[in-house]
Each structure stands twice: as structure tokens, then as C-alpha cells.
Structure 1
Amino acid sequence: MESKRAIVIPVTLKGPNYLLWSRLTKTAIGGKGLWSHCISDAPNDSKGVATQAEGEAGSKPVSEDRWLQEDLTVLSILQSSLDPSILEAYSYCESAKELWSTLKKIYGNLSNLSRVFEIKKAINNMSQEEEEFTTHLGKFRALWSELEMLRPQSFEPDVLNE
């Protein structure tokens, strides 16, 4: 990790906001060069890497130790961005990749019809009232962007019906 500045995810995952949370998390973690921890396992290739103490039995390559340290850092960042109820349910995950893929399976269902319904309902019930126009427009665009991500990218009737 190049920088010692703490990585903070500006949104807490509460379930329905998975798409926003995942985009912001990918940006924050990827910006520090640590995204590979969420999508791949530890590298197995240790050719040409110096060990901690030459000749010491059971010594790990330095890169493996660094990978483990970075993976635990990413795991900690992910865990700190979860709502307490979600954190409690998924605290058993031992690697960043395991936690990321588990959360994606549970909350990242792109054909989530209940979420599509919630977004459409929220868009239909929007009212500017005393709110500034730019604030109101921002909320509308955020909902519309999420709806676009959830809609199928096809015009085939079978796909749309599903």
C-alpha cells in the first residue's frame, strides 16, 4: 500500500443501497491499488521472491506476507463500511474476496424486482417541496441511474419478461 492515509468508504452498506456502496467501495479500494484483493485469491507463484530468513523452515515469501497484510487491511475496510446487522451476519468471512463475493451474491442481484419496484415508487412519489432544484435533481438522477443499472440491457421479450 503506497499511502498510509486511511481508506474510508463514504456510505454504509444497509442492503438496498448495495449498488451505490459497491461503486464507491471499488473506487476507494481500487484507488489505493488494492482492488485485486476483492476479486482474486493470494498469488501462489513465489518464484524469485526472497524469503524472510533464508533456510528457515516454514518461512513464507515476503510477497505472501505482504498480500496477507493488505488483504486483512481491505477486509477491515469492508467490514467498517457495513451496517452493524450486516457485519454481524458476515463477520465469519476470512478474506476480502470471500466477503466481497458473499455480499455480491446476497445484495447484488441485478434482477432484484423488489428493488426496481422501490425505485420506481420513490421516483413517482418525488416532490420538490422546499428543496433546492439542484438537490431535487440530484436525488432524481441517483434513483434513475440505479434503475438503469437494474434494468436488463436487452430488448428481447423473453429477457424483459424474466
Structure 2
Amino acid sequence: MVRANVPQSQASSSQIGRVALEDSSSPYFLQNGDHPGLVLVSHSLAGNNYNTWSRAMSMALTAKNKLSFVDGTCLRPPSEDLLYGSWIRCNSMVISWLLNAVSREIADSLMYIATAHEIWIDLRERFHQSNAPRIFQIKKLLTDLQQGSMDVSTYYTRLRTLWDELKDFQPVSVCSCGSMKDWVKYQNQDCVMQFLMGLNESYAQIRAQDLKMDPIPAISKIFSLVVQEERQRSIHSDISGSSLDHNPILSPKPINAAVKGSSYGKGDKGGKSDNLTCSRCHYTG
């Protein structure tokens, strides 16, 4: 019910403003955990990682329902609007999140920009790389990437990171004739080839087995097979090492082991070597 001394239009505007602030789907809504010191992404913007940083930041702001403050869709309302104060507060909050997600040198250069949208545009103009050089760089990294001293999981993770970034540059095709399945199949085969080529030569046997499969399985299946091979080798290595440690015949003897009845290290003038007895394992000879 509207009070008699409050105009109807003013009461309606006040109600609309209150609903906008309390509605969790509204961009003006702030959760209890939202504060200026919040860090939304794990890796700060250093300049050369803008593409991955902007994607991670966009997902984080979308989860917070604040992406509209950086893409320009939530414009500043007039100063007489009831939501003006809420917009200023949310805009300042998003600016704080952006400053927390960049290096200190970059943050100092953004300190006096008034809106989150202007900061977003400024970062894009400064650090965004055009498609062609970045695609060339990614493909060069894929060509040079080898397993080396990495385990299979780490090597595969680095490949997946480059594949996903490269896929982000590819145009999205819409096809209803069914030929897209052949293109997806070819992409999977290309990923399998890159993964197998970069493996160490110790995996030559499992590589040959995978290439004989027809059709070639998904890259995730190939990765699972190689990881199983790696784990089997680790188990055999542990068993072999344990056998050497517990077998007195197979375990290596110290060179300076004490020997009974010999002049070890002082020439071969006394006694036969067959009568020598080791003080550690008690074997003769």
C-alpha cells in the first residue's frame, strides 16, 4: 500500500529500484562474498597472455553477472535515476576486480579510467593480438612440442591447452548435410598424430599399436592407453627395484666390504680366492 503523502510515481520508482537490487538475476545485485579485494582469475594479465586472460575474465564476470559492465550493455543511468548510486557502486566493484587481475605496472596505468568498460577497451587495444600471428605461434609451438622429461599427463595437458586456444580462432561452421562429421573426424586424427609424434621413443611399441587401429579412436582414448602403459612400466620398475633390495645375491655389494681370511687390497700373495668369505652375506669366493 502506498502512503498518502508519497506520490504514486515516486513509490513505483522506489519499488522498481529495490527489486533491481534484491533480484539475484539483476546486474546490480551484489552477493555477500563480493568485495573489492576479490581475485576472480588465477593468472594475472602480464601482456602476452591477453587472449587466455580475457576469456577467463569474461567467464568469471559472467558467473558474477557483471559482464554487462565491461561489454558496454549496462550504461550509466542519469544522475537523477534511483539506480545511479547502485551503478556507481557496481562499476567501482568491477574496476577493483579488473585491477586485481592485472600486473601492478598495468594496474597503475588504469587507475584513473572512470568506467570498467573503458578499462576493458583499453586493455584490448593494447594487448590483443591479431589472429594470424597468434595462430602461427600456436602451430609452431605444437610442431616443436615434445614429451622430453615430462610425464604423459603433463605433456598431454600442454597439447590440450594449445589445441583449445587454436580452436577458439577457428570459425564456427553450421552444417546439416553430415559432412561436418568428417571434418571432426579429421581433426581428431590430426590431434592423435601430434600426440603420438611427440612421445618419447620408449613408447614406440604402443605408438605402433595405436596407429594400427581402424578407425583411430578418440584422442582421449589414445591418451588413456598411453597412460596405462606408463603406469604399468612404473609398477614393473618398482617391483624390480624391490627385488634387488631384498635379494642378497642380486643386491650390489660394497666395494670396500670387509673380507675374512684375505689380504684384500694388499696384493694376491696369500691364500686362494676361493676360500675368501664375505662378512656381509657370508658367501665364499
2:101 corresponds to 1:77: no
In structure 1, what residue type is equivalent to 2:102? L
Per-residue CA deviation, residues 113-157 of structure 1 (Å, 9 max, x unaligned), is 1x3333223222212123221221111111122223335669xxx
Could you tell me which runs of 5 or more consecutive residues in structure 2 were left unpaired when the two chains were aligned. 1-29, 174-285
Per-residue CA deviation, residues 10-54 of structure 1 (Å, 9 max, x unaligned), is 11111221121111111111111111110125343x7xxxxxxxx
Could you say if the C-alpha distance between residues 71 and 112 of structure 1 is closer, same or farther in structure 2, counting changes exceeding 3 Å?
A: farther
Could you tell me which runs of 5 or more consecutive residues in structure 1 were left unpaired when the two chains were aligned. 47-58, 155-162
Residues 3 and 32 of structure 1 are in contact (CA less than 8 Å); yes or no, is this contact kept in structure 2? no
Residues 51 and 129 of structure 2 are in contact (CA less than 8 Å); yes or no, is this contact kept in structure 1? no
What TM-score comes out, normalization by structure 1 length? 0.73
Task: Tell me how far apart the structure 2 counterparts of residues 129 and 101 of structure 1 sit (CA, whole Å).
Answer: 40
Residues 39 and 100 of structure 2 are in contact (CA less than 8 Å); yes or no, is this contact kept in structure 1? no
Per-residue CA deviation, residues 54-103 of structure 1 (Å, 9 max, x unaligned), is xxxxx744411111111111011111111223223333322110011111
Matches within 5 A, 1:1-162: 1-5=30-34, 6-40=38-72, 41-44=74-77, 60-113=80-133, 115-151=134-170
Could you say if the C-alpha distance between residues 91 and 125 of structure 1 is closer, same or farther in structure 2, counting changes exceeding 3 Å?
A: farther
Could you say if the C-alpha distance between residues 122 and 85 of structure 1 is closer, same or farther in structure 2, counting changes exceeding 3 Å?
A: farther
Residues 7 and 28 of structure 1 are in contact (CA less than 8 Å); yes or no, is this contact kept in structure 2? no
Could you say if the C-alpha distance between residues 87 and 145 of structure 1 is closer, same or farther in structure 2, counting changes exceeding 3 Å?
A: same
In structure 2, what residue type is equivalent to 1:66? S
What TM-score comes out, normalization by structure 2 length? 0.44
Could you say if the C-alpha distance between residues 133 and 96 of structure 1 is closer, same or farther in structure 2, counting changes exceeding 3 Å?
A: same
Task: Tell me how far apart the structure 1 counterparts of residues 132 and 99 of structure 2 sit (CA, whole Å).
Answer: 24
Task: Tell me how far apart the structure 1 counterparts of residues 57 and 69 of structure 2 sit (CA, whole Å).
Answer: 12
Task: Tell me how far apart the structure 2 counterparts of residues 117 and 125 of structure 1 sit (CA, whole Å).
Answer: 12
In structure 1, what residue type is equivalent to 2:68? S
Residues 42 and 64 of structure 1 are in contact (CA less than 8 Å); yes or no, is this contact kept in structure 2? no
Residues 39 and 101 of structure 2 are in contact (CA less than 8 Å); yes or no, is this contact kept in structure 1? no
Higher relative contact order (CA 8 A, sep 6+): 1
Residues 8 and 28 of structure 1 are in contact (CA less than 8 Å); yes or no, is this contact kept in structure 2? yes
Task: Tell me how far apart the structure 2 counterparts of residues 16 and 151 of structure 1 sit (CA, whole Å).
Answer: 20
Residues 7 and 29 of structure 1 are in contact (CA less than 8 Å); yes or no, is this contact kept in structure 2? no
